[in-house]
Structure 1
């Protein structure tokens, strides 16, 4: 069979009992391309659902995978892959992270299979496999070994060729005869050939891929320079006439390989800071098999499995503590080194370190969906989203290559027309000196280093272009609860209707009746409020912790009104509990009860109201405490216009704003109200950074120019945010703002240096004042300076 299509047709024929057709054939069908058959057979295994389970994510109706791509050497490779795969039907998204040598692919599995995507990548010259940390590390080491071999050979041969050239240039060996010089040139050619054919092959392959895709990259002028100089040298040795520059070729290849090797290593170190987090997850775990603890592979653990984690061991999986108490070091996730006390019902995360007691953990998600894996996946997504300045740099580098080729051609024509014998070598110097490698490195090297540093500080970027947008922000808008405050609420004061409690004793237990009447009524109201709030995930619910086990409460309906309150049917009572505005919306009579004083003792500052059967039964004052670092942070953000945007009562928001010296305070906002406010500010030309943590903040986080989910934000808020602060420290916001500013500055410095150096050296090259070996040295130093400047962000 010639292809998978024939195989599918033949399978259909056999499955339908039509194979008798083949009894009447007299000859075998023509054999297809054996290489294609072997390739498809090898790649088809990646279409198996069992294999995809480990590394393929569902992305809506499509599938998404992260691939390790071998052969990526520079930004031009990433651009080439993105442009070529964008033409493939069924591919929804192609994003290449050049620094980490990875690609993020989203595809429609009904139109194209994963094996087809991998085959297309192979067709354009790049081998790709699903990203797995161990395999990716092996791939990096393989490429590093290849670099070292090429670099070592180029270095050794360069020394030998330079020794021979040195002797000729400075008459070290005395006045050499023509035969001796010819002999030296022949030996130099012999030594240079492996450098050109082996050490320099990385540049030719990259240039060939670009030309096949009908474009140019920075390796095109490099390849032309090496090939032209080498061919000219071969002709000069063969004809025993003309100049040879074998030492320049060797030095050029050597210096260029040095800069590429240093770039390769620095990119790996930057991404390694994040990727190494996976090494913290143990390979094995102790699982309860029903009778004893047995050692199993951590990857095989399933939801609801029970595992034992002993003191000094790392958590093998995300889960919830079933029994035991311990302290856990979560610094690898949050950046905070103070241990966190964990007890029954608390969440623990894979890779964090159990320090004291033994705990039994019930698995809540598989390794594939563990928080640490999700963090790394989000970081990869961020690195694959390019800011505008990066896209501009990519475009500039491509047009710059075209300009260099044109200038080189015109320069050669001019010097040749005036009879200059060095016209060829002047042209070679231009091609070498102006190679825009440094320009291609300017942005990705800075972004990779910045994100690695932020990761150490407990800040996770979901998109890299957020760093660029942060630097243009004019306003910072804070949610109140759980953002500027701790989110740990307590019940300060409450008042209730005596009449209602005395009339409805049917759901109070006899045990409670035995206590004093006043105590019984107070217990009843607090227990009822706590029972209603027990199913809510809102931080305010944490203030209602009264024991309701002794009451005959039963709930038949429960509805959360996001940002407003709760509706529930408890026994025969229709209950509504939430903000005053929410209660008034449920029953217009509620406002009359406040106005007429029907409900004696109603608290004017109450921010939570309980209504049963259209009667206000109790009012509560629930307060929160200001986050300890909030004041210091607000003082540091004096250059921004600060606002608080909250769903809490206006007087509570005003109180917090006055305490923190924030001029703008907007309370009583529903999620829709918050969204309208943000859009109004944006329409007025403001660029906003929004910080929030709750479910009700998700719409406004999605709408803000840059959104940040803080602390223990809800999953919905994290999903909507551009940046996630993994720790509870608000100071991480200042770290983020500072790093964004530094990163933009570094990118500008890198681009300015790369362009400035090329523009500065170009007149010297055109005028013939720059020899090829000097051009090679300068170009390599330019790239090394850019990489070094970026790595300073990690200090």
Structure 2
């Protein structure tokens, strides 16, 4: 125990001029320097101060530079710097972090467990496959620099996610992987040749001195493999044990050091067996399986990362005097005007003011047919103007552009893990504990019966049953599935939605903009006696110009009137003051009037001044080209339509479609109630919609899909967003969900089945350590390879 004049952490003399102290185990302890104080405080803050109670030796003196490292992180608290990568989520802030030092699924669990205990952090979701963390926190309780410092203290370097830097981080990790893998591979070959020659007596009858010489050579070659190539596993084990838990790196570390120390002892004492070739092969094959995992998750992550690489650094800004100037794309703000030439990439999201062009949106939607853009059309950052020139008004800054939203939403998707993933994570931790107990019992039994190979049998049990494959079973399949959907223009906001899609038995669809094209036109119009048709149309155009509903497309023309006190009633209509008079447009029930008996058609849009009907319109659109094909592919589900349009219009649209039930004239509340009724009958409902009036029912459905050019409100309520304009994406989504379910089941069945099958052979002593090494590594490689097949289907 350190005296009061010695550092409680490292045992060295304390500084007589400066006092560093903190509370440890209920008492104030003196420390020698800022470095020891920082480390000791981190140990206490993480609930690990029992370390000081049970340690047998003082710790090493801490590096004083740790404080300067943590102080450097304070720069991330600067609001100006946060502007580029921190997003506001109501009262909370959210950031994506790139993490270095992640080796396996257990690292993600450890980070989530450690940070979730910190006051002010609402959510931590680690995506091990993409080496990212999504953190949501309350800035009043904790600062970003403190979150990053907390990660630094438990051994993980965090930095704000930026596509280029994230790729550089991957390259650094890949380079380190290859160095360790290369060293382990070369040394494994050398040691295998030496030891195989001894085992199979290829060298003939050799003297004991020569045999010992070969052992020393093998020991020399094995040592760098153990100390350098295998270091990732030991660090993972230390991180887990420091958090008072176990992961798959723990049995690996015990097996490696147990075999190495036993071989070292046998070499020094010139008695007993050595298995240096098994250690080298174990580390090499385990590194190889993790390298394959590393490469496969990067391949999946690249599909998402590719979205950001198309966004240009610069843009051509149109100044107030009509002149052009170059600026950084990230400096653009809403209402700025930019000019895009043919062949250039559109820098940010906006609306076309002038010009026409064919725009390649394949990087967003997965559809390679160019989309023709005209004035008032929306364009998105990262898409390419193939021909023509466009003048665009910016609607979103680069930070909030659609491509950046996609990357963020994908990170959010991995925050909600499916039940299968949670079960596998929990099972793997229990399985590791069971393996350790079984290994101890195996050693005890064989020692009791006097088997001199008890130690080596125990090592075989530790190696053969390492649950690496189980830890990879679910996350590897999910990552590949999300990447595949992204490539097809399907954005997933919740990973567990993939699991729920397999339970769906009912699909409810909105009509306007979902089944139909959402391109409305006025089929016929009626005007009250004495009403000037031109004036009435001008008023209708002015009101509809402010609406987000697709029906506004039918009312085109120059806006001649200013509108004040404008209001939208989802599922009902719109209202506002035009030239000092109150007008409303919408359904008859919303406007509070009755249709005249002499009206020659069933109007679905009325224009009313006060309580006086001044105009009536029949507005309709056409079915999408792929509606019939899509619904035919979904015929195994109960299909129904929930629409706010009149029942007559709904019937006209669905009479040729395989729809079992079609309800029209529904308000948003009534749509919500219909879905609730289905769910009360134990139906699992997928709802598809695109408008503001669909938001409540989308939020209540088991799985919600926002289709085509859905409103922002609908996208917020949805679980899945179709970036393209094709309904055929829905059957693709359901097929991928089914494939993921199969892959996860196959992976778990293989990994659990392998461990159950191999365990009796390992306990019985049938397997030698090298056989256990080969079996364990092949099991992990098979699981990763099976998951990657999702990308190619």
> TM-score, normalised to structure 1's length?
0.90
Deviation (angstroms), 1:36:
4.8
Kindly indicate whether residue 605 of structure 2 is the aligned counterpart of residue 608 of structure 1.
yes
Per-residue Cα deviation, 1:293-318 (whole angstroms, up to 9, x for no partner): 33333223333333332221111222
- What RMSD, in angstroms, separates the aligned Cα atoms of the two structures? 1.8
* Counterparts of 2:540 and 2:425, CA distance in 1: 60
* Counterparts of 1:760 and 1:42, CA distance in 2: 52
Question: Residue 680 of structure 2 corresponds to which residue in structure 1?
Answer: 683
Aligned with 1:338 (options 352, 369, 373): 369
Structure 2 SS opposite 1:54: coil
Question: Residue 223 of structure 1 corresponds to which residue in structure 2?
Answer: 253
User: Is the 1:496–1:601 contact (alpha carbons within 8 Å) kept by the matching residues of 2?
Assistant: no
Question: Residue 709 of structure 2 corresponds to which residue in structure 1?
Answer: 712
Inter-CA distance 554–418: structure 2 relative to 1 (3 Å threshold): closer
Deviation (angstroms), 1:617:
2.7
Question: Residue 157 of structure 1 corresponds to which residue in structure 2?
Answer: 187
For these two proteins, the number of residue pairs brought into alignment is 736
Q: How does 1:737-752 map to 2 (within 5 A)?
A: 737-752=734-749
Per-residue Cα deviation, 1:439-490 (whole angstroms, up to 9, x for no partner): 0000110011011111111100011000000001111100010000011111
Aligned with 2:105 (options 39, 57, 75): 75
Inter-CA distance 310–574: structure 2 relative to 1 (3 Å threshold): closer
Higher relative contact order (CA 8 A, sep 6+): 1
Question: Residue 101 of structure 1 corresponds to which residue in structure 2?
Answer: 131
Per-residue Cα deviation, 1:299-350 (whole angstroms, up to 9, x for no partner): 2333333333222111122223333222111111111111112233332211
Deviation (angstroms), 1:357:
1.8
Kindly indicate whether residue 540 of structure 2 is the aligned counterpart of residue 529 of structure 1.
yes
Aligned with 2:781 (options 776, 780, 784): 784
Aligned with 1:412 (options 436, 443, 457): 443
Question: Residue 367 of structure 1 corresponds to which residue in structure 2?
Answer: 398
Inter-CA distance 613–85: structure 2 relative to 1 (3 Å threshold): closer
Aligned with 1:122 (options 109, 128, 152): 152
Q: How does 1:547-566 map to 2 (within 5 A)?
A: 549=560, 553=561, 555-566=563-574
Deviation (angstroms), 1:135:
1.2
* Counterparts of 2:616 and 2:509, CA distance in 1: 27
Per-residue Cα deviation, 1:396-446 (whole angstroms, up to 9, x for no partner): 100000111111111111111111111111110110011100000001100
Deviation (angstroms), 1:277:
1.2
Aligned with 2:80 (options 39, 50, 53): 50
User: Is the 1:495–1:601 contact (alpha carbons within 8 Å) kept by the matching residues of 2?
Assistant: no
* Counterparts of 1:689 and 1:697, CA distance in 2: 13
Kindly indicate whether residue 273 of structure 2 is the aligned counterpart of residue 232 of structure 1.
no
Question: Residue 336 of structure 2 corresponds to which residue in structure 1?
Answer: 305
Structure 1 SS opposite 2:656: helix
* Counterparts of 1:566 and 1:691, CA distance in 2: 23
Structure 2 SS opposite 1:606: coil
Per-residue Cα deviation, 1:159-203 (whole angstroms, up to 9, x for no partner): 110010111112211111111111111110011000000001110
Deviation (angstroms), 1:639:
1.4
User: Is the 2:428–2:470 contact (alpha carbons within 8 Å) kept by the matching residues of 1?
Assistant: yes
Deviation (angstroms), 1:610:
2.5
Structure 2 SS opposite 1:156: helix
Structure 2 SS opposite 1:659: coil
* Counterparts of 1:603 and 1:660, CA distance in 2: 27
* Counterparts of 2:306 and 2:562, CA distance in 1: 49
Question: Residue 284 of structure 1 corresponds to which residue in structure 2?
Answer: 314
Aligned with 1:650 (options 633, 644, 647): 647
* Counterparts of 2:703 and 2:599, CA distance in 1: 41
* Counterparts of 1:544 and 1:75, CA distance in 2: 55
User: Is the 2:601–2:618 contact (alpha carbons within 8 Å) kept by the matching residues of 1?
Assistant: no
Aligned with 1:727 (options 724, 738, 750): 724
* Counterparts of 1:635 and 1:688, CA distance in 2: 18
Deviation (angstroms), 1:27:
7.7
Structure 2 SS opposite 1:317: coil
User: Is the 2:96–2:134 contact (alpha carbons within 8 Å) kept by the matching residues of 1?
Assistant: yes
Q: Highest Rg: 1 or 2?
A: 1
Structure 2 SS opposite 1:72: coil
Inter-CA distance 132–573: structure 2 relative to 1 (3 Å threshold): closer
Inter-CA distance 566–303: structure 2 relative to 1 (3 Å threshold): closer
Question: Residue 121 of structure 2 corresponds to which residue in structure 1?
Answer: 91
Question: Residue 538 of structure 1 corresponds to which residue in structure 2?
Answer: 549
> TM-score, normalised to structure 2's length?
0.90
Inter-CA distance 625–256: structure 2 relative to 1 (3 Å threshold): same
* Counterparts of 2:606 and 2:355, CA distance in 1: 38
User: Is the 2:685–2:702 contact (alpha carbons within 8 Å) kept by the matching residues of 1?
Assistant: yes
Structure 1 SS opposite 2:333: coil
Structure 2 SS opposite 1:416: helix
Deviation (angstroms), 1:546:
5.3
Deviation (angstroms), 1:258:
0.3
Question: Residue 175 of structure 2 corresponds to which residue in structure 1?
Answer: 145
Question: Residue 506 of structure 1 corresponds to which residue in structure 2?
Answer: none
Question: Residue 8 of structure 1 corresponds to which residue in structure 2?
Answer: none
Q: How does 1:311-326 map to 2 (within 5 A)?
A: 311-326=342-357
Question: Residue 255 of structure 1 corresponds to which residue in structure 2?
Answer: 285
Structure 1 gaps of 5+ residues are 1-25, 502-520
Structure 1 SS opposite 2:83: helix
Aligned with 1:663 (options 660, 663, 667): 660
